[in-house]
Each structure stands twice: as structure tokens, then as C-alpha cells.
Chain A
Amino acid sequence: MPVAQPISQTTDGTALSNHLFDVLVIGAGVVGCAVARRFTLEGANVAIVEKASDILDGASKANSAILHTGFDAPPGSLELDCIRTGYREYEKIKDELGLVQEKRGAVVVAWTPEELAELEGIAAQAHDNGVVDVEVIDSKTLRASEPNLSELALGAVMVPQESIIDPWSAPYVYLQQGLDNGAQVFLSCKVTGGAFDGQAWQLETSTGKLRSRTVINCAGLYGDIVDQVVFGETGFNITPRKGQFVVFDKAAADLVNSVILPVPTEKTKGIVVFRTVFGNLVVGPTAEDQQSRTDATTDSHTLKALIEDGVSKIPALAEMPVTAVYAGLRPATERKEYRIDTKPEQNWITVGGIRSTGLSASLGIARHVYGLYQSFGPEHQPIATPKRPSANVLAQSKERDWQHAGHGEIVCHCEMVTRREIEAALRGPLRARSMGGLKRQTRATMGRCQGFYCSATLADLTAGRFDQPLSTEIGLG
């Protein structure tokens, strides 16, 4: 039988089908990466499998890049608890892992008298949720802090601690810390079945067998399917919710200071106007329920409506060119809450339905899941002094690679990505194996020209590296 080969060769590959991991994590999205890190730091021997060639390739590849305080999370919910714990841990580890956090705050803006009437309730809920510095501000105070906001804004709830972060460098370094401390990653490795013998799981994957005492399903958009193929049944059903986004030119970023939120509805947090740590201004997401787990198409009609929505809130956006558009899929289920389910007799935990707060809550979810595991799993000895890798430095507020001699050349001029950064992203166990992976690790081609200037150089630098090559040599194929 074929045996899955680890990408980080720390174990003798031939012995792998006999190797028994303590914990196997299915899915290297932001939640899987955080879970793999937590279990590794607690002393477990961890494997993480991902069906795509690169990590963060499902729901985690497109989000709003906001670190939420939990001010608007359902009171008393597990989601709130995980967001709060996750936020605290992020603040604690961000410096040692080289992560960025811009605490720009958010304003929940009322545009109608009905919405204005809801503001006090939103503030009260925030206080109940433990976010005590939230307050209602009048339109004059709002305009003083957001001078480019439309004059139609009637008032707002101010949430000072809402932050923006790098949505990819964070989970990359979570998993990298796991790998540096002994975890193993198996990429292009899809789980196709599994059996529990009372002691341990034997999982069938597209690249061979893997054995582990405990399995944690963090398969995101495919969480229900993984439970289905292993148990023949699932406790929840994913209905992907598509969100389209429009990214405006960097010149637009200074039009807002904080995250501009609408008053939420029952179904969605609504369309947000937010800066990114890379210096763009983004408007989105939409909330479109669909059956497909892969269809992340954008459509010009919806994008134009998003632009209109942005312009209605920030009139000066009308003059700004669009840099990029994208769509993401959130793993929504038939219920709003997280679907975290433990099968202690079978050493299995399913972490499902992490709909839209995964980035904020992931570190908290990982701690919560470790707590669940302690109720049935063996005791481990936490690593006393774990290794601390450094995250990619891509945020505008940080000193970037191009500012340091010896970077080779600037390859992507719009995002100032150097040859040295590209080459680094093509090395190591989490190296980019697709253009999507390379973009998430370096931001190459994500700027104004969308690859007009650098595609040729990237095609050259990545030749022979990607499963789906950017180009072939003329004359050879």
C-alpha cells in the first residue's frame, strides 16, 4: 500500500504507515494551522493533512483580515469565548512571531433612523460580551474621526480594539511553529476514508495510509463530507456562502481610519469598508448562499453594486481605480453557531461551521479543542522552550525586505516584492506550489497592475516549481 510521504522529512518515510501520531489534523486552513500549533506546543506528536497543494487554499484564502474583539458575537456563545481567547493570545504572541496588528478600531455606522435606534443595544451587547470600551458616538464625533464618511451617517458605535492583521502570514507562522517543533505536514493529501480499531485511527488518503490515536476534522468547506466518508453520517451540512470583495487603489486607503461596519442583520454582518495592513481599501463581502464548494466566481453586476455601496459611504471612492476583486467561500451550516462535536469513544473531534470569524477565533478554537481532547486523550508534556519562527513581513507599517540590501531585485513593483522573498517562498516544507500560494506568501501580482509587469519574471522564477505551471518553454511544449 502507498504510504503518505511527509513534506518535512523528519521521519523515515518507509516506516510511516507504522508510525502512530498522537493527533492528526485534517485541513490546513487557519483553524487547522492553529490547532496543529496548539497540540504541538502541548507536546503531542502531530500530523496535518491538506488536500490542496498549498495551505490556506479553501475558506481561509479570502476573508476580511480583521481581528475581531467579539463585541457583536452571540452572548454566551462558544464563538464569543473563542474570539475573546483568540484575540488575547494573538496580542500575546504577535511580537515573538513577528505578526502585525493595527488597532484601528471599528465604527458600526447607522444610516437610517431605524439603525440609529439599534446602536444602544449594540453597545449594551458589547459590554455584556466583555468589550467594555465600546460606546455610542454622535454624527459629529463620527465625522471628526472619519472625515471622508458620507454626511448621511447618523451616528455610530465605536469599537476601539477592532484590529486589522495579515490574514495569511499569521496562519502560515502558526503552522510553521508547529513544524519547527516537530509536527509534520502532508500536502496534496485528501482523506478518502478511515477506520478506528478502538485504540487508533487508520486513515486512507489520496497519497497513502496514516495512523493516529486521535483525529481532528478541521476541513472547513468539506467538514461535513469528511465526517460523511469516515462515519457514513454527518451532524451538519455545509451551505457555502460566497462573499465578493472589491479592492481599491492604495491611494484610497487613507480615506478611512477605522473599519466601517453596517448595523448587522440576522444573516450577515453586512458590507464592510476596511483598510488592509498592505495599504489597500476593501469593500465587501456579499453573502450569497450556494451549493458549490469551489465556485468562487465574481460577477461584474455584483462588483458594481459593491462599488456603489462603497461610494455611498465614502463618496471620494468614486474617483479611485479598482486594483483587484476576489471572492471567498465561508463554510456556513444550517445554524449560525460553531459546530464543534466530540466523539470521545472514537477519539474524534469535528470542528465545523467556522463561518466567518475563523481568523479571529482560530487561536481560541485551538485552545478550546485541546481542552476537549484532554477529556479523553493522553497527557502530554508541553514543550518547555518552543522554537519561534518569524512570519513573513508584508505589512506596510513594517520594514519590508526591499529596504534591506541584497534583495536581488524588486520583482513585483506594485507590492514591492523582492526576488529574495520569492525565492524564500519557494523553499521549505510550506513552499508555494501554486500561484495562489505564492501570492499569499509574498503578495506578488496582488497590486495595481495585477501582474502586467512581473508575470514574465515570475514565470521564469517558478519554472518547474508549480503543479500548474505558469508557462512552458517555447519550443518544448
Chain B
Amino acid sequence: MADTISNNTELIDVAVIGGGPSGLAAATALKEAGVTRVVVLEREQQAGGVPRSCGHFAFGLREFTRVLKGPEYAKRLVAQAIAAGVEIQNQTTVVQLLPDGALRLSSPAGANQIAPRRVVYATGVRETSRSSQLISGARVQGVMNTGALQSMVYLKQRRPFSRPIIIGSELVGFSALMTCRHAGIRPVAMIEAAPNPIARWPSALYPRLRGVKLLTNTQLMEIHGSDVVEHVCVAGPDGQTRKINCDGVILSGQFTPEAALARSGHLKVDSATGGPLVDQWGRCSDPTYFATGNLFRPVETAGRSWAEGRQTGRWVALDLAGKLPKPGKNLRLSVRDPRLKYTMPQVICVSNAVGGMSDIQMRVTERISGKLVANTENGPVWSRALNARPERRIEVPIAEIVAQIADGTVEFEIEGAAS
């Protein structure tokens, strides 16, 4: 099986890097659009992505009109792709991206190189590590992200600790709680630095928190222990530091696109999203590469990533048919406000052809009501009222911006105070 690619490298139309929801959706859509050979390169033992290790609800409403647990959802996505004629190459790692879509690979059969006509880059997101968050204290065992915990619990039936503290209240914090419950792990508390929980959790889930204290306005200061975690120091709303005994730390959320291949290769990276720089078709700075899903930016649900992957599949099929405008005259988008995290896309390819994403996506760092303004060197060209929260996506129709300005640079900023 590992040899199929090396025997047949000339004929790949599209290689999809990453077999998660967005990659599988893109591959399936490509086949449905009539593209001949579509290969998904998945570095894990099996395709399916993050949902594989999310042994809880709720996945699949958009895709399969029913509520599924993660592993079942992942299996269905894989089955759907295979039924559409997608080839899935497991245990195949893309080592390096080369110009014009050439990819260096490694599989248990050794190293290899392929040259597909287009590449869909769909490597998703991960939570940021303790190190990159510069969290103080001893470098002890028992500090991990939710994703690592979920893989350990659901894929290996193992647990790393029994009384951890959960840091962060994004939606994934709820996944951490559910995973702990499943494994008989009893979190001592969940803490959130912001004044309110970040996630827009369905109110029905709140009772699940029962027994686990949620401490808002509380920040993790230090992790302590000799070999494993023994306690953490947190600073509460009163500014006082106190000790919480625990044997592990779950760092939840703080997602970042897994853009290592772009960073170590020739594709431009947008420092605001942490993902590759893209236009409204998800095209990267080398237009044989199309990004999609959570690689675009942190972080949306599996369902949303799947929908983005479907779109990307259709656009890549159009591009193979010569129906996408060539990159050329560009409008550059960026944020000029620390309360705006990013814009995605960062480039709009302005041409007569209409298509691609309908909206520019943005996110804020805190609750804000005010005005969102698009500035150019000649002053503001567009604005609208903004009532935003960190957990909600802001969408600005691309058509509205392009109607005002067709090249140069647009910088978004917020007028108004935190609410």
C-alpha cells in the first residue's frame, strides 16, 4: 500500500495534506467535481483528524444531519471520501513543500517525492504549548494540551493524571472536562483569565460543570513540582496569588494553525492568523497551494472546517479547469488594532470574475461595541456598527469593500471602547 504513490507519481491531480474534516471534505468535493486522481496524505495511522480522539458529542449535524460522537463522525467522513473515489495514504508525512506543488514525503517505506498539479493544504490547528505561552515554574511531567489528553484517553485508553486543573474556558475546555469524566479524572478547577467564560457554551452544558469550580478573572502564574505537577499558583480577581494542589495541568485553547510546513518552506505566513497568507480562494503565495479549514486561522468547529473544505475542493477543481483568475492585481488586508486578532483572507484578488469566499473573517480579543472601520491611505472607505465578542466570528462582505477600493491596502480598526 505504501508503494502506490511511488509507482504512480506522475498522475496525481491533487494531493491533500491532512485527512481531517476539511481535507477529507476538499478531497471528496474534488472527486465529485470530476477530478481524476485525488490523494489524501495523512501522517497518522488513520485519517479523520481531531474528531478521531474526541469521544464525545456533538459532531455531524451539518454534514450528516444527525448528532455523532467524534470517532463515528471521523469514520463517516473517511467512508464518504473513499466512496467518492479518494485515495487515502495513511502514515505518510509531508516533510517539505517545494515550489509549484512538489512535495517531499516520508512513509514507513522511506523517503519519496511527488509532483501533483495542485495541493490542498489542510493541516488544521493545535493548542499552543506551555513553552510558547512562557508559563513560569518547574518543567515537570503532567502539563499538556487538551488534544494530547484526548488522544491518550480515547485512542490509547490511558490517563496521565487524576486531579488536574483546566486552564481556559474556550469550547475546547468543555471537551477537556468531558474527556476527564470519561477517564475517571476529577479536575480540581477550571480557571479563566478573562472576566467571563470565553465559550458560548450551550446553557444545557453548564450543569456538567457541577463539582468543578469555574474561577474567572483568574490567571495561571506558576507550575510547581519536583518530577510531576504538585501544585500551581494562580492570581485571582483580588490580585492575590494562591496555591491550588493538583497533579496535572490541562492547557486548553489558545489555538494556532499547524503551519510548520509553510514556515519552513517558501509559502508566506501571515503573522496575525499564524496560517499561510491566502486570497479569497484560499490560494497561497505559491498559487499551486490552496489552504483550507482551520489552517486558515484559529479556530472554528469541525463542521465549519468541513464546509470550508467542500468549498476549497470546488475552487481547486475550477482552477484545474482554468476557470480561476490568475493572481495579479491585489488588495491587501490587515488589522491595525490590538483588539482585532486577524483578517482572513489577507489578500483579495480583484478581477472581473466573481467567486471565492463571500466574507472577510475577523475576530476580536475582548467584548467590544463600537464601529468597525476600513481605512486606506486616503482615509476611511467603509464602516459599520460592531458589537463583538471573542467567541463570535465577524464577517465583512468582500463585495462591500471591493466596491469602495480595488487595490492598495485596507487596514481595519475599531472605534469605540470595550463593553
Contacts and interface: CB of A to CB of B under 8 A. Distances in A.
A149 B132 CA distance: 24
Interface stretch (A9-17, A121-129, A227-235, A403-411): A403-411
Interface residues of B, number: 51
B136 A451 contact: no
A457 B45 CA distance: 11
A463 B152 CA distance: 12
Contacts of A301: 136
Given A402-B111, A452-B127, A472-B158, A410 B106 contact: yes
A402 B109 CA distance: 9
A251 interface: yes
A449 B126 contact: yes
Contacts of A388: none
Contacts of A249: 263
Nearest to A408: B108
Interface in A271-318: 294-301, 303-304
A249 B110 CA distance: 26
A154 interface: no
B298 interface: no
Contacts of B43: 410, 413
Contacts of B91: 409-410
A298 B160 contact: no
A395 interface: no
Contacts of A327: 139
A459 B111 contact: no
A408 B129 CA distance: 27
Given A322-B131, A409-B91, A413-B93, A456 B155 contact: yes
Interface in B230-280: 256, 258, 260, 263-264, 271, 274
Given A251-B264, A408-B108, A455-B151, A298 B132 contact: no
Contact of A297 (B110, B137, B152): B137
A459 B160 contact: yes
Interface in A397-450: 402-410, 413-414, 416, 435, 448-450
B226 interface: yes
Interface residues of A, number: 54
Nearest to A405: B110
Nearest to B134: A300
Contacts of A450: 129-132
Interface in B313-348: none
B264 A468 contact: no
A322 B135 CA distance: 12
A324 interface: yes
B284 interface: no
B132 A303 contact: no
Given A249-B263, A453-B126, A304 B158 contact: no
A468 B156 CA distance: 18
Contacts of B109: 405
Contacts of A409: 45, 91, 108
Q: Which of A296, A451, A456 has the most CB of B within 10 A?
A: A456
A130 B151 CA distance: 55
Contacts of B95: 402, 416
Nearest to B150: A456
A471 B158 contact: yes
Contacts of B135: 300
B418 interface: no
A247 B139 CA distance: 15
A416 B106 contact: yes
Contacts of A355: none
B184 interface: yes
A319 interface: yes
B399 interface: no
A471 B160 contact: yes
Given A413-B93, A459-B152, A468 B158 contact: no
A236 interface: no
Contacts of A474: 153, 157-159, 183-184
A298 B136 contact: yes
Contacts of B136: 297-301
Contacts of B264: 250-251
Interface stretch (B140-148, B287-295, B388-396): B140-148
A450 B157 CA distance: 21
B134 A470 contact: no
B106 A403 contact: yes
Nearest to B161: A471
B138 interface: yes
B130 A468 contact: no
A322 B134 contact: yes
B228 interface: yes
Contacts of B263: 249-251
Contacts of A435: 141
B415 to A, nearest CB: 27
A367 B157 CA distance: 51
B377 interface: no
Contacts of B256: 321
Contacts of A251: 263-264
Contacts of A475: 157, 184
A322 B132 contact: yes
Interface of B: 43, 45, 53, 91, 93, 95, 106, 108-111, 126-127, 129-132, 134-139, 141, 144-145, 147-148, 151-153, 155-160, 183-184, 222, 224, 226-228, 256, 258, 260, 263-264, 271, 274
15 contacts: A251-B263, A296-B139, A299-B136, A300-B134, A403-B110, A404-B110, A407-B108, A409-B45, A452-B147, A453-B151, A455-B152, A468-B228, A472-B158, A474-B183, A474-B184
Which 10 residue pairs across A and B have the least CB separation, nearest first?
A456-B151, A450-B129, A405-B110, A471-B158, A251-B263, A455-B148, A456-B152, A299-B136, A300-B134, A324-B131
